[in-house]
Amino acid sequence: MATAVAKAEQAESVEYAARIEHVSKSFAGPAGQQLVLDDITLDVAPGEFVTLLGASGCGKSTLLNLVAGLDDPSAGSIKTDGRPALMFQEHALFPWLTAGKNIELALKLGGVPKNDRRDRAEELLELVRLKGSYGKRVHELSGGMRQRVALARALAQESRLLLMDEPFAALDAITRDVLHDELTRIWAETGLSVLFVTHNVREAVRLAQRVILLSSRPGRIAREWTVDIPQPRRIEDAPVAELSLEITDQLRGEIRRHGQQ
Q: What is the tens place of the pLDDT at every residue in 152-191?
A: 999 999 899 999 999 998 889 999 999 999 999 999 999 9
Dihedral angle sign, alpha carbons of residues 175, 176, 182, 185: negative
> Average pLDDT over the chain, rounded to whole?
89
- pLDDT, tens only, 20-38: 999 999 998 787 788 999 9
How crowded is residue 234: how many other Cβ atoms within 10 Å of its Cβ? Answer: 13
pLDDT band at 53 (very low <50, low <70, confident <90, very high): very high
Measuring CA to CA, which residue among 20, 53, 19, 56 is closest to residue 38? 20
Does the predicted TM-score (pTM) go above 0.85?
yes
Helix, strand, coil fractions of the chain, as percent rounded to 5: 40, 25, 35
pLDDT band at 4 (very low <50, low <70, confident <90, very high): very low
What is the dotted CATH code of the domain comprising 16-84+159-261? 3.40.50.300
**In a 3-state reduction of DSSP, which class is residue 65?**
helix
Question: Domain locations in the chain?
Answer: 16-84+159-261, 93-158
Distance CA(126)–CA(207), nearest Å, equals 22
